[in-house]
Amino acid sequence: MTTVKTRNQPVWQIVARREIAVRATDKSTLIGTAVMLAVIVGVLGFTAWSESREKTYDLAYSATVSEAMVEGIAERASDIDEKVSIEPVEVADEDAARLALEEEQADAYLRATSDGWTLVSLEEADSDLRDVVDQAIQEIVLAGNAQAAGTSAAVLTEGSQVAFDQIEGDSELSAIRWIVGYALAIVFYFASIMFGMTLANSVVEEKQSRIVEMIAAAVPLRQLLAGKIIGNAVIAVGQMLIYVAVGLVGLSLTDFSFALPALSGAIGWFVVFFLIGFVVLSTLWAVAGALASRTEDLQSSSTPITMLLMVMFFGALYLDGIGEVIGSYVPPLSAVLMPMRLVEGTAAWWEPIIAVVLLLAFGVALVRLAERLYSRALLQTGGQLSLKAAWRLEE
């Protein structure tokens, strides 16, 4: 009989390597990643492009009174909004203006009325155009009225300036914090569902194809579970890092790049929470896979965990104030809420540390529970098992 060398490589590593190799060469994973990257690059690219784009509007007029006003608006446009310029277009009368609008030779038509002006457009006019026209007309009319009253616009509006000053932070950064926080919650939610479903599928695949009995005869199921979760997590985190990196590089090319230094620490924490939260939820997905007997059962056996994810997701969206603070410590909700609070800048430096410890403790307890359910349910091939039935099974 030939002797076989037993290498000292732990079994979970062999399992994890197979998971990674199978997933990394899987077409749907590769296509999914490419599509997601295209979306991120597309959104950021569009934002950067539309921010820097100069917009020119063709503004039609017919009467002589209108001509002076339209030219006045064109003159002032770049002072009001530097990315907007106005091109006056002369038309014969109102019918001609209407035709010009319909044929898209003009973006809007300015008409004098008895008590002011009307801006006519085919559909709702761009807000940029409306703002410029509105503000320019007010300035011009005010200046004219002031002159008629023997004074000047500057005198009339003197003392009416209102400035805004906030003691904490600045408003634009707050908005970005808010958006990034929600974006992270969404990323966590979708990544958990996507990778969780894949993991549950690969568990049920082994059960359905019956290969699991041969694996169970060779290695402890705990090692199989660990290998599958770690392999899956490596792929997920790898993909996440690519997205975050591309997202950050993209963001640095837009006008929002000023927000990056303030957010980089929080995003680092996000990766930590993501990793732990992801692994904890993965064990539940593996249990969902083990409870099913066929891929078709997966929908119903994974319902409890999709419910949990919904609670986490909507908790992240709707909790605020004291609720948000409490939620940011309660596992597994903390995996989403604490990074959001960090992005919002409302958490002190020691808060994420406590939340991580709590999340880890919760994770260890849950993994033990999940391991028992997983290893008992895995060899039961007669239909879908309930959680209770799986718990009561003997080895």
Partner 1 sequence: MLEVSGLTRRFGEMVAVDDVSFPVPSGGLTGFVGGNGAGKTTTMRMIMGVLAAHAGTVSWQGHEVTREDRRRFGYMPEERGLYPKQPILDQLVYLARLRGMSTAEARREISALLERFGLGGRMKDPLEKLSLGNQQRVQIIAALVPAPMALILDEPFSGLDPDAIDAMADLLREHARDGVPVVFSSHQLDLVDRLCDRLVVMARGRVVTQGTGEELRADSALRYRLVLDGDAGWVRDLPGLHVRDVSGPEAEIEVVSPGAEQKLLTEATSRGNVLDFHRVVPRLSEIYREVTA
Which residues of this chain interact with partner 1, rule CB under 8 A?
1-2, 4-7, 11, 14-15, 18, 22, 205-206, 208-211, 213-220, 379, 381, 394-395
Which is nearer to partner 1, 14 or 96 (by Cβ)?
Answer: 14
CA distance 230 to 222: 12
Encoded tokens for 211: 């290969």
Least distance (Å) from partner 1 to the CB of residue 26? 9
Least distance (Å) from partner 1 to the CB of residue 222? 12
Least distance (Å) from partner 1 to the CB of residue 57? 57
Which is nearer to partner 1, 204 or 244 (by Cβ)?
Answer: 204
- Identify residue 361 by its one-letter amino acid code: A
Nearest to 61 by CA among 8, 107, 111: 111
- Angle among Cα 35, 41, 47 to the nearest 5 degrees reads 135
Which is nearer to partner 1, 153 or 379 (by Cβ)?
Answer: 379
Which is nearer to partner 1, 123 or 395 (by Cβ)?
Answer: 395
Least distance (Å) from partner 1 to the CB of residue 194? 19
Which is nearer to partner 1, 381 or 386 (by Cβ)?
Answer: 381
- Identify residue 323 by its one-letter amino acid code: G
Question: Which residues lie across from 110 on neighbouring strands?
Answer: 119
Neighbouring residues of 182: CB distance < 8 A, sequence distance ≥ 6:
316, 317, 340
Phi, psi of 111 (to 5 degrees): -125, 135
Least distance (Å) from partner 1 to the CB of residue 7? 5
Encoded tokens for 202: 């690969």
Q: Residue with structure tokens 């039609």?
A: 60
From its phi and psi, is residue 383 left (phi > 0), alpha (psi between -120 and 50) or beta? Answer: left
Which is nearer to partner 1, 190 or 391 (by Cβ)?
Answer: 391
Least distance (Å) from partner 1 to the CB of residue 329? 40
Which is nearer to partner 1, 2 or 171 (by Cβ)?
Answer: 2
Neighbouring residues of 176: CB distance < 8 A, sequence distance ≥ 6:
256, 259, 263
Q: Residue 338, CB half-sphere, CA atoms under 13 Å: how many?
A: 30
Least distance (Å) from partner 1 to the CB of residue 273? 33
Q: How many helices (H) and strands (E) does the chain have?
A: 16, 4
Which is nearer to partner 1, 5 or 53 (by Cβ)?
Answer: 5
Least distance (Å) from partner 1 to the CB of residue 15? 8
Least distance (Å) from partner 1 to the CB of residue 304? 26
Helix axes 171-208, 211-218, angle to 10 degrees: 90
- Angle among Cα 115, 119, 125 to the nearest 5 degrees reads 150
Encoded tokens for 306: 């999709």
Q: Residue with structure tokens 């990056």?
A: 260
- Identify residue 214 by its one-letter amino acid code: M
The single-letter DSSP state of residue 111 is E
Which is nearer to partner 1, 11 or 146 (by Cβ)?
Answer: 11
Least distance (Å) from partner 1 to the CB of residue 209? 4
Q: Residue 339, CB half-sphere, CA atoms under 13 Å: how many?
A: 30
Which is nearer to partner 1, 175 or 211 (by Cβ)?
Answer: 211
